[in-house]
Each structure stands twice: as C-alpha cells, then as structure tokens.
A and B are shown apart, each in its own frame.
Chain A
Amino acid sequence: MKNKKSFFIISIFFILFTSLGTVLVYLDITYSVEKSDIIKKQLFVSLTKMPDLALYSEDSFMRNRSLNGFGDIHSLSPSLLESSKASYAISLKKDL
C-alpha cells in the first residue's frame, strides 16, 4: 500500500483520540458530581455553617478561615487579612 505508513500513523492518532474521548466519557459518568450530590453537599454546609473542604489541617485557616494567625498574612498572602479591600478587587477580576 502506497501510504501504508501514513495510514498507520493516522490509525495511531485515531486510537489515541478515541481513548481520550472514552476516558473522559467514562470519568464523566462515574466520577462527576451529580445534581443530587451537589444538593447533599449544600445541605451539609448549611447544617454545619462551616468553611468547607476537609483538606489541609496543618494550615488551620484552610479548614477554618477564621483561625488564621496575624503572621500568616505576611508569610502566605496579604489577602488573608480580613475584610481586605484586595478581596473585592480580586473577586471582580476572576472567578474561582
């Protein structure tokens, strides 16, 4: 076949793109957050009224924002200063 090698490469890329699509679809079906799950999360946060995401307790303010120490604004970010004017300027510019 004249373009055997080209056909081979195109097939490889077709397989790769199809694999990517398959992985994305599978993950979307299996691991994405459903609407009912979002409601459950929101109900939980409404119940506890706590800052969310049980992620990083070593920086205590990450689990409970009100716990950040005064020194944290210098070592980590000045936006940790409460009622920082920077908070509103940043929030206008970008979404999380």
Chain B
Amino acid sequence: MDYSISHILRYKYKNLFTVISLTILTFLLSSLFLISNSIKYELNIVLDQLPDIIIQNQKGGIKTLVDESLVYDILDINGVKDVKSRVWGYYDFKKADVKFLLVGVEEFELDKYDVNNTSILVGIGVRDILKKYYYNDYFNFINSDGNIKKLYIKSNFDTVTKLESNDIIVLNKDTLKNIFGFEDSEATDIAVYVANKSEIPTIAYKLQDKYQNMKIITKEDIKTGYAEIFDYKSGIFLSLFIISLFTFFVIIYDRMSGVSSEQKHEIGVLKAIGWRVQDVLKAKFYEATIISLSSYLIGIILSYIYIYIFQAPLLKNIFLGSSSLLRNVDFSFVLNIDILFIIFFLSVPIYIAATIIPSWKLSTLDADEVMR
C-alpha cells in the first residue's frame, strides 16, 4: 500500500487529472440517474389517485369537447364504479408568455377550501407569475366573448405539491365553462373509475367498442407512457454519455499500455528485487482503487449536493420544458441504493481493469527484458 501511495504522489499531476476527469464523469452519470429517479418516485406516489380510464372525444382525429350526458350511459356499464366529467383547459397569459392549466371542479369539492364561483386556488408558480404582474389579490380572465371575468385569489396550494400543482389554477366548473365559452352540457373529457382494477382493460375495450370515435386512455397507458418517455429522454443523454465514458476508459487503457520507459524501468527494478507478479498487480490494484474509489465518492457526494440542495441548474432542463412556469420545481430526495451500485460498477471496476491489464502484461516478463 505504501508503495502505491508513493507512486501516486510521484506522478501527482497526472493522477490528479485522472481523478478530476473520473469525478466529473461519475458526477454527470449519477446526476442523471438521481433526477430520473426522483421524478419517477413523484409520479409513482400519486398514480393511484388518477382516474382509471379517460375518455376523450375526437372528430376527424382532432380532439374536441365531449357531451356530459355520456356520463349516464357509461355508468350503465357493468364494473364502472363512478364517472365524472372533467372540465379543464389552457389559458394563455400572453403578457408573461405562459399557459396556465385551468381545472374546474364541482362546487362541493371546493367547499373545504372555502372557494366559491368568484375565487380561485393557484399553484406556487402561478402565484409568482401573477405577483410579478401585480395581480396580488385577483386576476382578470378574458372570456371567449372578450369580456373580463375578475376572480379573487383565495390562496395557493402547499409547496409540497409544487411538482403537481405549479402551473394549475383550480376554480368552479361553471365559472371555467364561462371563461372558455363551453356550453353547459360540454366537458373536456370524462374520467371513469372502475371498482375492480383487473377489469380496467375489459371496460376500456367495451368503451372503445361502444364509442368508436372516442380516444380511450387507461391509467396503465399513462404510467407506461411516462416511463417510456423518461427512459427515452434519459436514454438519449445516457447514450451520448456512455460514449464519453467508453472513450475515457480507452484512453486510460491506451495510456497504461504505452507506459513510459521510466515506468517500465520501475517494474523491472521491482521484479529484480524479488517482487512477484502478484505483488506488482497488488500494488497496481491499490493504486487504481484509491484513484477510482475516491473519484466515485467525491462524484456521488457532489451530485447529491448539486441535485437536491442546488436543484440541478442546467441539467434539469433535459427533463423540464423551457416554460418559465415549469422551471421552479424541486426534486424530492429518494435514497435508491441500486443507483449507487450501478454507478459504482460502471466506473470503479472498469478503471481498475483498464489499469491492471497493461501492468499484468509487463509484470509477466523477465526483469532484464522489461528494463531493456
């Protein structure tokens, strides 16, 4: 061990460069995994609350509003527990160049928040944007017929729901219909709840058969879609990153293979004074482990601090949109030991192998042959 440490210190600048490079690579890789993991965790904890099936109307493949009377027809289907019409849509706040997601809910659901048909509940992101434009107590919506509808801001949602509610305004359903110019019988889509979750595919097929022009989406579709998209987004970044990682290890291997005459001489001297092949390899192993393990630990620590304390500036834009409303979401900490192991096995053993293999080649030769 002492020899390995002395060897590291003898070539300190070269080894320092290697440590810094490996730390940066570990940092990027772990940051990517940690962000993706946090988002998936957030999605997973609320997925059960979503409707089991969503039905959306289409005309000529283009999405359109649905008739609320469909609710009663769907309730007649065996296995359906509850059906609710959803009224929601995007409101374009042109001044700030953002779109608010307006969600209308029934009056009785808003009672506990003390919200009536002249008030709204807003997400944190919405509140910040409105305050920026001096809408502290109320906001003026412009109706579809051009009239102004003044609604008072009752309160904002808790910061813990930021990832879910950041761009949302919740208000009375009828008020929302008035703003968007919906008819009384119109809704954006219909949410279906099924009593027995294993019957969801059957009921989805029944609905599709009954309403050929409707788009039927199940909760499983939403779950799979999100998973695929996150894997796709992180996969693009990861595939580019793996190329960098691979290139790094090829450089290390190449560097170790083309060792300088000084290092060859050193191994030759060690062999001459009685070191066996195992001893040389052990020394190299310690050296590689010290460098790679310290890089791994520093990279992991830095990535945890970067993601959860500084909230991953720059890197989170891979997953988030460019809308200013969506920039201000925070990642929740989730400890996933699997990720630590994955990153460990992607960095440390590969570096150790890239270092030991060329040294093994040299150490198997005779001392005089190495020193020649």
User: Interface of A with B (CB < 8 Å)?
Assistant: 3, 5-6, 8-9, 12-13, 16-17, 19-20, 23-24, 27-28, 30-33, 37-38, 40-42, 44-59, 61-68, 70, 76-77, 79-80, 82-84, 86-88, 90-91, 94-96
Contact = CB atoms under 8 A, between A and B. Distances in A.
B15 to A, nearest CB: 13
Given A33-B332, A44-B164, A56 B227 contact: no
Contacts of B158: 40
20 contacts: A6-B1, A6-B5, A13-B293, A16-B298, A31-B332, A32-B334, A37-B160, A41-B164, A42-B49, A45-B46, A47-B170, A52-B42, A52-B43, A53-B226, A54-B101, A56-B319, A66-B63, A83-B218, A84-B221, A87-B218
A40 B168 contact: no
A66 B189 contact: yes
A54 B305 CA distance: 23
Given A17-B297, A23-B304, A52-B164, A32 B333 contact: yes
Contacts of A45: 46, 49-50, 164
Interface in B268-309: 290, 293-294, 297-298, 300-301, 304-305, 308-309
A87 B332 contact: no
Nearest to B46: A45
Contact of A87 (B61, B166, B221): B221
Interface magnitude class on chain B = 35 or more
B86 A62 contact: no
B164 A13 contact: no
A66 B1 CA distance: 61
Contacts of A6: 1-2, 5
A30 B165 CA distance: 21
Given A83-B208, A86-B224, A87-B218, A54 B45 contact: no
Contact of A32 (B40, B51, B323, B332): B332
Q: What are the 4 tightest A-B residue pairs by CB atom distance, in nearest-first order? A: A31-B333, A54-B166, A45-B49, A37-B160
Contacts of B333: 27-28, 30-33
A67 to B, nearest CB: 7
Interface in B136-176: 157-158, 160-168, 170
Contacts of A53: 39, 42-43, 163-164, 226
A77 B228 contact: yes
Contact of B167 (A51, A54, A90): A54
Nearest to B98: A57
